[in-house]
With several copies, the nearest count.
Chain A
Amino acid sequence: MIDKRVASLAQALEGIADGSTVMIGGFGAVGQPDALVDALAELGIKGLTIVANNAGWSAETGIPRLMDLGLVRKIICSFPKGSTVFRELYLAGKIELELVPQGTLAERIRCGGAGVPAFYTPTSVGTPLADGKEHRDFDGRTYVMERALRADVALIEAWKADRWGNLSYRGSGRNFNPIMAMAATLTIAQANEVSTDPIDPEAVVTPGIFINRVVQVESRVEALLAAQRQA
């Protein structure tokens, strides 16, 4: 029987190696796999490259916690503002930043999961973020070539999961989660509800083929509300 459920966060994170590239879903606090990230921080796995939209906001949890513990070598993201921890490490030259426009980040990840090694986009042409990139004209417009992004591990958050690893989301909680789920060798999902009953096939947003492990985690509503108040 296929059963992707695991009983604990420790089991969910088993086998992640030093130096891994880790995608972390979420847009700000919503859709962020907070429990998985915090558990990863406890494991002390070093030299991580993080792919995420943001660099987090609170030193106590999430990506800043990983950084504060010295576990992160580099972050690939679109909007690293709002995290004091990252700011200090970055200004001290202790962490590398690859700044990517949000849509380019999303498409690079989607291509990573879809077997497309590179694509062209008009985004960033004529800006410093296109420096050193290959430019090419199609039908009279200029584009830059961007490479696909893949990861060793993707940590994502869903609202519901079933034993096959099928996922559905809540509200704006999809954001980067469905595309990151496709782009990693090992994809681990935390979900508020995990069931042996299947999700309605028409309502599945992320098919289980993209998911390796699912762990049930009570969602931290208070943390989400706190993040909104801070926005």
Chain B
Amino acid sequence: MNQSVNKTTASQPEAGKVDRDAVARRLARDVEEGWYVNLGVGMPTKVADMIDGDKEVVFHSENGILGMGPGPAPDAIDPWLVNAGKKAVTLLPGSSLFHHGDSFAMIRGGHIDLCVLGAFEVAQNGDLANWTTSSDELLPAVGGAMDLAVGAKRVWVLMQHTAREGEPKLVEKCKYPLTAPGAVDRVYTELGVFEIIDGRFSIIELANGVSFEQVQALTGAPLHGN
């Protein structure tokens, strides 16, 4: 938890060189003390390690944990305690355990302050596509993404600004099947922080050394000042 360095967002826009930790750290700065936070599998899980040590945040795992702590030492693994990615975790003081019915009541009922998810695409109206890249994908799987996207008070997407081949992931309209319409509040990428306001992407901040023109060129929808 106690990350000594407190750098701002990384400045390298090229795909493949993204400092994922820096983006996660930038997002973590905006997480408020006392929030109940669910982190999606993958890049979002990094956020847990980036929260300032003196800011108490409660991490929720949809398989029935509140107050999840970091992974255990190899000799201290509890085989019965895993996160939503099925990896070993620990419990922090103040934690609680419950079943899936109650866990998704929390999610659907609007009790989670923040959900951080990865995405294939985010549209300027907040539409989120993060569960399947095609409507006839060979083997679809959805997990809890749809419930989290509609249920959390805030949905922040943490992702690389563009896809592997450089295609924009912030778009006017998603081409992939939606996870939820109008769900996303903010997007954090290596190029900046973008808020969805009145159906368009507003720039909250740009990463150091990144110009508006650079970001706009890598974005599939018009960007606006805040």
Contacts and interface: CB of A to CB of B under 8 A. Distances in A.
Contacts of B110: 115
B100 interface: yes
A62 interface: no
A179 B80 CA distance: 18
Contact of A225 (B56, B79, B101, B146): B79
Nearest to B56: A2
Contacts of B91: 201
Contact of B142 (A90, A101, A115): A101
Contact of B34 (A2, A79, A171): A2
B139 A80 contact: yes
B179 interface: yes
A28 B106 CA distance: 21
A1 B98 contact: no
Contacts of A169: 97
Interface residues of B, number: 63
Given A78-B143, A198-B95, A103 B108 contact: yes
A171 B81 contact: yes
A173 B64 CA distance: 8
B11 interface: no
Interface residues of A, number: 73
Q: Which among A123, A126, A159, A169 has the greatest number of chain B C-beta atoms within 10 A?
A: A123
A166 to B, nearest CB: 6
Contacts of A43: none
Contacts of A27: 63-64, 82, 86, 100
Interface in B16-55: 33-34, 36
A122 B100 contact: no
Nearest to B113: A209
Contacts of B94: 2, 162-164, 166, 198, 208
Interface in B188-202: none
Given A209-B111, A228-B77, A110 B101 contact: yes
Interface in B65-96: 65-67, 77-83, 85-88, 91, 93-96
B80 A30 contact: yes
Nearest to A27: B63
A37 to B, nearest CB: 17
Contacts of A116: 108
9 contacts: A27-B64, A30-B86, A78-B144, A81-B139, A113-B105, A115-B151, A128-B177, A199-B96, A227-B86
Given A104-B146, A182-B109, 8 more contacts: A2-B58, A101-B142, A101-B146, A107-B108, A114-B108, A123-B147, A172-B65, A198-B94
Interface of A: 1-2, 27-31, 53, 78-81, 87, 90-91, 99-104, 106-107, 109-110, 112-116, 121-129, 159, 162-164, 166, 169-179, 182, 198-199, 201-202, 204-205, 207-210, 219, 221, 224-225, 227-228, 231
